[in-house]
Amino acid sequence: MKSFRQRLRDGEVLLGQMVLEMFTPGIGPMLAASGLDFVIFDMEHGRCDITLLAEMVASCRGCGIVPLARVPDVAYAPLSRALDVGARGVMVPRVETRAQAEDIVSQLRYAPAGRRGVALGVAHDLYCAGAPEFFAQANEETCVIVMVETVKAFENLDAIVSVPGIDIVWVGHYDLTVSMGIPTEFDHPRCMAAMDALLAACKKHGVAPGFLPGSPEAAAYWIGRGFRAISLSTDVFVYLDAMRSFRAHAARAVEAISPKGATA
């Protein structure tokens, strides 16, 4: 079976979800049962810490979904700690320079490709210290995701995207529009131009562009444009949308059987 990184390199579109709130042992298996490829446990905006991350990652074992961790910021140290508890990749927010991107890759790769610290016989290797070939295999299977979310990041976009070892460059569209002075104006020509620039840079350097669209229609649109790592909104918004829709249907049924003039 092909690895997550190999599927990205082969040009596949992979679907997942960002989890900010529903940190239950069932969330990974439920997303897997829904046909998703990956789950991102959010330590930046969600209520996840390293202890909870370890539990969430363990709950994903055996169900076929790839657990990834979004760390709080580029200075989170060490970045490899998320890998040591079993995450298969790390998403790093607010990356703005090539030097930052190179440092991120180095922290998440074992020598000679990087400088990740070695701890064997723990969660990431299922408590079985591996043979010498383990290190190359771990490097091959670890996914590196950098987020570009500011004007400065887009000024340095080609330099960031071209860093060897980066698998996904993910646009943080909310932060980007705030940085541009056009908060939440996602259809603004400057925001759309930035999306085009990211797609072009990723295509040029063979990197997968990533995005979190807020609706099925938006997901279809951006997949059609070329994004290949897609979070189907977040756990919070999908749950709220589904519950509001369910309640609206139930409310119509209640209204239909209510006596004239009665309030539902």
Residue 263 in domain? no
Checking if the pLDDT of 263 tops 60, the result is no
CA atoms within 13 A on the CB side of 71: 25
Q: Which of 21, 84, 20, 93 is CA-nearest to residue 58? A: 84
* Total number of domains in the chain: 1
pLDDT band at 131 (very low <50, low <70, confident <90, very high): confident
The residue whose two tokens read 């400065």 is: 152
Quick one: average pLDDT of 149-168? 98
- In angstroms, the CA 99 to CA 192 distance is 26
Residue 264 in domain? no
The pLDDT tens digits of the residues spanning 196-230 come to 999 999 999 999 999 999 999 999 999 999 999 99
Checking if the pLDDT of 1 tops 80, the result is no
Whether residue 119 contacts residue 85, with contact meaning beta carbons closer than 8 Å, is answered with no
User: How much of the chain exceeds pLDDT 70, in percent?
Assistant: 98
Residue 144 parent element (H or E): strand 143-148
Phi, psi values for residue 29, rounded to 5°: -60, -35
Take residue 31 and report the two structure tokens written for it. 């997303």
**pLDDT for 259:** 79
CATH number assigned to the domain comprising residue 161: 3.20.20.60
Quick one: average pLDDT of 168-178? 98
Phi, psi values for residue 127, rounded to 5°: 65, 25
Take residue 208 and report the two structure tokens written for it. 């997968």
Take residue 186 and report the two structure tokens written for it. 């996602």
Residue 262 in domain? no
Domain membership of residue 137 as a residue range:
4-257
The pLDDT tens digits of the residues spanning 47-86 come to 999 999 999 999 999 999 999 999 999 999 999 999 999 9
